Amino acid sequence: MAFLKISIIILILCIPTIASALRCGSNLIVKGDRKIEVLKECGEPEFIEKWEEETVTHITGENDEIQGDLFIGRETNIGKSHLDRREEWTYNFGSSRFMQYVTFINGRLKKIEDGPKGTDRETLSGYSKSRCAQLIDKGDKKIEVIIKCGDPYSIEFFWEEQFSAVSNSVRTRKIPRFTKDGNQYKKNYIFIKEKIHQQKRKFINIEEWTYNFGPSRFLTFITIENGNVVKVEDGDYGF
């Protein structure tokens, strides 16, 4: 039972949590800061991941407008696109602090996330590197892979474009319309029923890290998308 409690505590400590600020030296970095401000106070990060996410929204509006004694159906179409440029910086301040994952959207600090306990780059953890395929979890960051497995034998780089499923929704809006009746204005309303179609497009930076532990061990292939592990595979024997 004691071992189970200790294991649960360790697991909780390894789960990233959202922080409101990041302390670098005597200064605090907070949401809304620019990249240059973070760089000035915290220095160069261990890793920088960059990608883009585009949200495309198409709105079709249908309304019934009263003109005299007639109901006239009208339709409007609106298309708009919003592009977010995202970056995630990884800071490893050593074994005395937790790692920090800092996310920027369009150049402004959006999120600060605590990672696992940091490590000195020269003294990586005592994990058996040949077993690293069993130690890597989906969602691990690059720095966590290096801590568990060391530096890869080789890295392949490529990218792809991914589309999310289309989301559909409907909303009704009541819009005032003023018409002149003699010397006075009369207030009427137009009811617009809008159909909203929204889809997100993400540009994915993909890396495949290859680990070669020698002829007595299988090769290990780790696929990383925008800095996060998505797949771990064993290959043939190494060399």
Q: Amino acid identity, residue 104?
A: F
> What does the mean pLDDT of the chain come to?
82
Residue 108 lies in a domain: yes
Q: Is 5 inside a domain boundary?
A: no
The structure's pTM equals 0.71
Is 3 a domain residue? no
How many CB atoms lie under 10 A from the CB of residue 112?
21
- Computed on alpha carbons and rounded to an integer, the radius of gyration of the chain in Å comes to 27
74 pLDDT above the threshold of 90: no
Q: Number of structural domains, the chain?
A: 1
CB 93 within 8 A of CB 74: no
Q: What is the residue-wise DSSP string for 27-85?
A: EEEETT-BHHHHHHHH---SEEEEEEEEEEEEEEEEEEEEETTEEEEEEEEEEEEEEEE
- Non-local CB neighbours of 128 within 8 Å, separated by 6+ positions: none
Q: Which residue has the higher pLDDT, 6 or 62?
A: 62
Query: Would you say residue 179 lies in a domain?
Result: yes
Residue 149 placed within a domain? yes
Domain that includes residue 213, residue range: 17-237
pLDDT per residue as tens digits for the range 93-105 = 888 889 999 999 9
Rounded distance, CA 222 to CA 115, Å?
20
Return the SS3 of 24. strand
Classify residue 133: in a domain, yes or no: yes
pLDDT band of residue 170 (cuts 50, 70, 90) is confident
